Amino acid sequence: MNADELLRHYERVADASDAVTRLRRFVLELAVRGKLVDQSPADEPASELRRRISSEKARLSAAGLIRPPKPVPPLQDVPFELPDNWCWTQLAEIGLISPRNDAPDETMASFVPMTLVAADYGAKHGHEIRPWGEIKKGYTHFANEDVGLAKITPCFENGKSTVFRGLSNGIGSGTTELHIARPVLVSPDFIVLVLKSPYFIETGIPRMTGTAGQKRVPAEYFANSPFPLPPLAEQHRIVAKVDELMALCDRLEAARAEREAARDRLTAASLTRLNTPDPETFNEDAGFALNVLPALSARTDQIKQLRQTMLNLAVRGKLVAQDPTDEPAVAVLAQVATDTAQQMSGGRVRKRRDLPEIEVDRAPFDLPAGWAWARFPELGYFGRGKSKHRPRNDPTLFEGGTHLVIQTGDVARSRGVITTHTSKYNDVGLAQSQKWPAGTLCITIAANIADSGILSFDACFPDSVVGFLPSHVFDNARYFEYFVRTAKANLLEFAPATAQKNINLEILESVLIPLPPLKEQRRIVARIDELMALCDQMEQSLLAQEHHAARLLDALLHEALQPTESMEIAA
């Protein structure tokens, strides 16, 4: 398989999230291995080119135009096999490393600061013009057709290298965070292809020196690492082919972006019509969305939007039909109040503080008939977790422990049902905490705000988690967990009594919950479960498609690099 054949299969691998990025890397990998263009027996072999380079450097040195070249250490190992008319060399052998520019002080030259280097300096970027006398000392020198490579991360990891062109009077200087090579009889554009290639970057990263936050490419690696050298004529053919293929990648990227944008626009329009429904067209809009959005959704983030829309509709009474015979929510609240009073009189729960009257005119939206606004403390037991002992990680709390403990991370990754725990308290740990029963709705108020999940087991948790145990009047906490997911992005909109911008127990106590009749609540939960299962299926299908595309892309790239091995393209 060759590059052209890969491109013919591109549509079959385009669903891989990084397909174009990997295609660009692949083109560069083919280029530096001699697999991108055909070799020509008429080309002067690279070994002869290397001999001419050596002669030219000797001539320049004898004429006093360059410093005498330093001996180049012999290569010990080479990373891969090259075509017969190529040869392995080193930048120090085929160019001048860190050259100096000689010019009168009054010569106007270019000054290129680090900000432009980080932006991948080239002819399209501007630069400052200054007298050479001002910028020749203390800076890195370069000239037109010199190659520059950023020394530091993350610039190096992104392949930040360039050919300097368009310099004032042909010379310039700038940041010392550059390695410079001045090619001798070699295409500078081909050198840049090698410096940007996965071979050069991935081999160089393990050799970088310095602290973890700011590593540097060693000068020895830049100058003396193995460099694959093709004949000069083939260098030019390779550069031209890479330019052609990178332009194709640009078009593929633009076409994919255009397709994605069109899908996003149609998806957004459909979801907007559901989030701000027109009563006269809602049923038609909802039917269209449910029928069309699965086909439009090509990314998992679009499935996330669909989930959120369904939840928004659910808590606004627009997901299932209302039944006028259902017992209204105010009657449900009366039952809860009676149940709570009995619990408090029996000493099973402590008396809750009185809450202010609900200002309905400040509620975030109008409710359907039969619904009512309520707050967590009016619907069951509501309070923060406990972890009184300091330090919280004291081993005496955990040694031999059997009582499960969850943290905010367990809630964040629960997807609605908490099935993992972080640690286990012993009896000492339990005594300074509080165990909540299975079925408790947990809401985080630290780290990730308002993540939620329902305990599938009895557990303790710290005060960075709030627990809600609904009244016995309710079947479970499922509707309330779905509500928290709905309101998470704009939770403060449901807490009109406060202007605070951080979430705490007091704010959660004031959050207004749209409460449907009990029977409708059950219908809502059943419908959401059904729709969430559909979203799960869509998500899994997308992930499977992407995984298949990624595997096919892997196979295609491997076959292109190892053409002697056979590969059966998946149907």
CATH at 446 = 3.90.220.20
In contact, 517 and 335? CB cutoff 8 Å = no
Whether residue 121 is contained in a domain is answered as: yes
What pLDDT sits at residue 206?
Answer: 80
Pair of tokens at residue 247: 């332009």
Q: Are residues 344 and 490 in the same domain?
A: yes
CA 22 to CA 550: how far, in whole Å? 10
Q: Are residues 210 and 322 in the same domain?
A: no
Before 154, cis peptide (omega within 30)?
A: yes
Pair of tokens at residue 195: 């410096």
Strand ranges of the sheet holding 380-384, from the earlier edge strand across to the other edge: 380-384, 465-470, 441-444, 452-455, 416-418
Q: Are residues 464 and 498 in the same domain?
A: yes
Q: Are residues 351 and 431 in the same domain?
A: yes
In contact, 343 and 334? CB cutoff 8 Å = no
The closest alpha carbon to 460, from 492, 434, 438, 439, belongs to: 434
Whether residue 144 is contained in a domain is answered as: yes
CA 277 to CA 291: how far, in whole Å? 17
Q: Are residues 319 and 351 in the same domain?
A: no
What pLDDT sits at residue 561?
Answer: 53
Q: Are residues 195 and 135 in the same domain?
A: yes
Whether residue 242 is contained in a domain is answered as: no
What pLDDT sits at residue 188?
Answer: 96
Pair of tokens at residue 492: 């403060």
Pair of tokens at residue 233: 């004529």
> In the chain, how many domains are there?
3
By three-state DSSP, how is residue 434 classified? coil
CA 474 to CA 517: how far, in whole Å? 11
Q: Read out DSSP for 90-116?
A: -HHHHEEES------TTSEEEEE-HHH
Whether residue 71 is contained in a domain is answered as: no
By three-state DSSP, how is residue 386 classified? coil
The whole-angstrom distance between residue 451's C-alpha and the CA centroid of its chain comes to 20
Under DSSP, the state recorded for 137 is S
Strands 452-455 and 416-418: parallel
Q: Are residues 398 and 422 in the same domain?
A: yes
Give the structural domain span for 404: 329-516
Q: Are residues 208 and 173 in the same domain?
A: yes
Number of H helices, E strands in the chain: 20, 23
Pair of tokens at residue 95: 């160019």
Whether residue 538 is contained in a domain is answered as: yes
Q: Read out DSSP for 236-263?
A: HHHHHHHHHHHHHHHHHHHHHHHHHHHH
Domain end (from 165, 193, 228) = 228
- Sign of the C-alpha dihedral computed for residues 319, 324, 327 and 328 taken in this order: positive
Domain end (from 228, 263, 297) = 228
CA 142 to CA 166: how far, in whole Å? 12
CA 228 to CA 31: how far, in whole Å? 10
Q: Are residues 187 and 315 in the same domain?
A: no
Q: What are the per-10-residue average pLDDT scores of the chain (571 residues)?
A: 56 65 86 92 96 95 89 89 95 94 94 62 65 92 93 70 90 90 96 93 80 79 94 96 88 78 69 63 64 60 78 87 94 91 67 80 90 95 93 94 96 95 97 97 86 97 95 95 88 56 75 95 93 84 73 66 42 35
Q: Are residues 533 and 554 in the same domain?
A: yes
Whether residue 63 is contained in a domain is answered as: no
What pLDDT sits at residue 16?
Answer: 62
What pLDDT sits at residue 568?
Answer: 37
Q: Are residues 529 and 436 in the same domain?
A: no
Whether residue 65 is contained in a domain is answered as: no
Q: Tell me, what amino acid is at 304?
A: K
Question: Quick one: three-class SS letters along 163-191?
Answer: ECCCCHHHEEEECCCEEEEEECCCCHHHH
Whether residue 384 is contained in a domain is answered as: yes
Q: Are residues 310 and 334 in the same domain?
A: no
Report the Cα–Cα distance between both ends of the chain, in Å, rounded.
17
